[in-house]
Amino acid sequence: MQAVLLVGAGGAIGSMARYGLSVLVGRFWSGGFPLAILLTNILGSFLMGVLIGTLARTLPAHSNEIRLFVAIGVLGGFTTFSSFSLDTIVLMERGEIGQALLYVVLSVVICLIGLYLGLLLTRGGAA
């Protein structure tokens, strides 16, 4: 039951953070390209790399509770691959195939780079 509460509380925080970032980006970006979700996934992937790298290096004894709360809860609620999938399909249905492909490639590639950079940051440059 504790695990469910940790994930649920973290997920609520992550979802609120995602919404806040979306509102913030919306103040500066009004285009049809889903920039807020892209930025959320990039940031979330980077933070996941930092978290996992840090846990592996410094807190193995308590890492399960932290992993449940932060990785699965907060970052799971913050990153939005379900929204990413929906936005991709919407772009495709609007006939914006090039935008959809660009969105998919940027999301996947840059998020992988973000996670790698987060790991590099916590590993002192050796991945």
The sign of the torsion formed by the CA atoms of 2, 7, 12, 13 equals: positive
* 51: containing domain: 2-123
* Number of domains making up the chain: 1
Mean pLDDT, all residues of the chain: 91
> pLDDT tens across 88-99, in order?
999 999 999 999
pLDDT (tens digit per residue) in 56-106: 888 766 678 998 999 999 999 999 788 889 899 999 999 999 999 999 999
Q: List pLDDT tens digits, range 7-21.
A: 999 999 999 999 999
How far is residue 12's CA from residue 29's CA, in Å, rounded to a whole number? 25
User: What residues are designated binding site for Na(+)?
Assistant: 76, 79
Looking at beta carbons, which pairs linking 104-110 to residues 24 or more positions away fall under 8 Å? Answer: 106/38, 107/38, 107/41, 107/42, 110/38, 110/42, 110/45
| pLDDT 10s digits, 35-58 | 999 999 999 999 999 988 888 888
Show binding-site residues.
Answer: 76, 79
